[in-house]
Amino acid sequence: MSVLSGRHFLQVPGPTNLPERVLRAMDRPVVDHRSPEFAALLPRIIPLLKQVFGAKTGEIIIMSGSGTGGWESALVNTLKPGDRVLACVNGQFGLGFGNAARKLGYEVEELVWDWGQEVRPDDLERRLRSAGAAGIKAVTVVHNETSTGVTSDVGAIRAAMDRAGSDALLLVDTVSSLGSIDFRFDEWRVDVALCGSQKGLMMPPGQAYLCASPRALALSQDGGSPRNFLDWGPMLREYERGLFPFTPNTLMLFGLREALVMLVEEEGLPNVYERHHRLASAVRSSVEAWNLSIMCEKPAFRSNTVTAVLVPDGLDGMEIVEHARSRLNMSLGVGVGQSRRRAFRIGHLGSLNELEVIAMVSGVEMTLREMGLPVSLGAAAAACERAFVTPPAPSGPGPG
Ligand SMILES: *Cc1c(COP(=O)(O)O)cnc(C)c1O
């Protein structure tokens, strides 16, 4: 039986579903990117993006590309050829950030944790204190490791760098956390944070956003590595007039303004973070109801945007994902890298509400049951409803 009517359930950890309003904001004739109408966008967008990053001090960079392009932009603007980089690796994206740096010609060392673990500040401190670590110019970290569903504590990571006396730059990938999980650029003294458009920010794929500290900006001004399109200098100069040094994704910027207004001004960031926490807790309760394990062992580090579920012996994560797609018209994330067949991933970020989560976990449950796992039907929906239902107000309808 295939499902052709109704909507597709896009529950991968990015790209995520777009709100109708964001779609409609982009559904317009292409504008002149040197017109006053266009120039009015950036002065509105940039302060909102700063709020999402938690940055009063940093400067925002908007580029065409994706999260991967954001890695490159962060690296080539702040580092000189041959500079040493310490890559924190606790999953596929941490590995990818480090590999990007290696391919660009930096000297990369890795600090590796088992998949499912967080980036451990004490291990980082020890490494930075060890002989020969003094020359390390940058530490790369993924705030929310999307391959394993683990959120690391960036503030504690910066504190560990301080304790070790390191003056390395802190470069942070926030691709699957920004706009969904609290991020504090200034407070954690991050040097560059980078994000893609298509995850928590409720936008289509195609842009990357960065926030650069005054120190990162100074380094980019007097050095960095050879670059042209990714050079922050011309971008920041043009932004003063609301313009870009190249043709930007103009229509996406109309969508971005709408998405940021929804997140920052209408729902409010604290409520957005609370919603993601609530939805993620319900998904985790559903996994418990199936008697399955979450890849991130320590509850304190479980991600509020993505849950990687370990599949029991005899089942194959890729087959589960394929079944959900063909049978229920729902996209789940496959396991990544090491956990390709051992896990599947549920994305629960962006434009998402309680009823959608109930339908989604019910779909996962139907899939598991049809794949032969003895889950009890309705368990996930019940777990979610228990998490979502609030007690009736004391002044509810009485017998009279
Ligand atoms: C999705 C993702 C990326 C890669 O982003 P692209 O937009 O696909 O280039 C990088 N890091 C993390 C943590 C991600 O979740």
Mean pLDDT calculated for residue range 367-391: 96
pLDDT band at 281 (very low <50, low <70, confident <90, very high): very high
Q: Is 333 in the pocket of ligand 1 (CB under 6 A)?
A: no
Q: Has residue 400 got a pLDDT over 80?
A: no
Q: Has residue 19 got a pLDDT over 80?
A: yes
Mean pLDDT calculated for residue range 196-215: 98
Do 28 and 169 fall into the same domain?
A: yes
| Residue 357 falls inside a structural domain | yes
Question: For residue 399, what pLDDT is reported?
Answer: 63
Do 187 and 323 fall into the same domain?
A: no
Q: Has residue 163 got a pLDDT over 70?
A: yes
For residue 320, give the nearest of 345, 354, 291, 337 by alpha carbon. 345
Do 297 and 274 fall into the same domain?
A: yes
Q: Which of 245, 265, 285 is the last residue of a domain?
A: 265
Nearest protein CA to atom 3 of ligand 1, as residue: 67
The better pLDDT of the pair 344, 132 is held by 344
Do 214 and 326 fall into the same domain?
A: no
Query: Which residue(s) pair with 209 in the sheet?
Result: 62, 195
- For residue 214, the enclosing domain spans 21-265
Do 277 and 253 fall into the same domain?
A: no
Mean pLDDT calculated for residue range 175-187: 98
Question: For residue 3, what pLDDT is reported?
Answer: 60
The better pLDDT of the pair 66, 399 is held by 66
CATH code of the domain containing 371: 3.90.1150.10
Do 128 and 150 fall into the same domain?
A: yes
pTM across the whole model? 0.96
Do 289 and 223 fall into the same domain?
A: no
Which ranges of the chain would DSSP assign to H, the alpha helix?
Answer: 20-26, 36-39, 41-53, 67-78, 92-103, 121-129, 154-163, 214-221, 232-239, 250-260, 269-289, 317-328, 354-370, 379-388
Question: For residue 340, what pLDDT is reported?
Answer: 82
Q: Is 175 in the pocket of ligand 1 (CB under 6 A)?
A: yes
Question: For residue 341, what pLDDT is reported?
Answer: 87
Mean pLDDT calculated for residue range 56-70: 97
Average pLDDT, the chain: 96
DSSP SS3 for 365: helix
Contacts of 358-365 with C-beta under 8 Å, sequence gap 24+, read 358/384, 358/385, 358/388, 359/9, 360/9, 360/11, 360/330, 361/282, 361/283, 361/286, 363/9, 363/324, 363/328, 363/330, 364/286, 364/324, 364/330, 364/332, 365/286, 365/290
Do 195 and 94 fall into the same domain?
A: yes
Question: For residue 396, what pLDDT is reported?
Answer: 64
pLDDT band at 196 (very low <50, low <70, confident <90, very high): very high
Q: Is 142 in the pocket of ligand 1 (CB under 6 A)?
A: yes
For residue 174, give the nearest of 138, 136, 201 by alpha carbon. 201
Q: Is 97 in the pocket of ligand 1 (CB under 6 A)?
A: no
CATH code of the domain containing 33: 3.40.640.10
pLDDT band at 391 (very low <50, low <70, confident <90, very high): confident
| Residue 308 falls inside a structural domain | yes
Q: Is 95 in the pocket of ligand 1 (CB under 6 A)?
A: no
| Residue 396 falls inside a structural domain | no
| Residue 395 falls inside a structural domain | no
Do 110 and 145 fall into the same domain?
A: yes
**63, 66, 92, best to mutate for ligand 1 pocket (most atoms within 8 Å of CB):** 66
Q: Which of 221, 236, 265 is the last residue of a domain?
A: 265
Concatenated DSSP letters of 224-249: --S-STT-HHHHHHHHTTT--SS---
Amino acid at 309: V
| Residue 399 falls inside a structural domain | no
Question: For residue 5, what pLDDT is reported?
Answer: 86
Question: For residue 120, what pLDDT is reported?
Answer: 98
Q: In total, how many domains does the chain have?
A: 2
Atom of ligand 1 nearest to the CA of 176: 15
Mean pLDDT calculated for residue range 103-132: 97
The better pLDDT of the pair 134, 274 is held by 274
Residue with tokens 């980036």, as numbered in its chain: 119
Percent of the chain with pLDDT over 90: 92
Q: Is 67 in the pocket of ligand 1 (CB under 6 A)?
A: yes
Do 191 and 212 fall into the same domain?
A: yes
At residue 190, φ and ψ (nearest 5 deg) are: -75, 145
Query: Which residue(s) pair with 59 in the sheet?
Result: 212
Residue 368, CA atoms < 13 Å, CB-side half-sphere: 27
Question: For residue 206, what pLDDT is reported?
Answer: 98
| Residue 52 falls inside a structural domain | yes
Question: For residue 356, what pLDDT is reported?
Answer: 98
Q: Which of 206, 234, 265 is the last residue of a domain?
A: 265
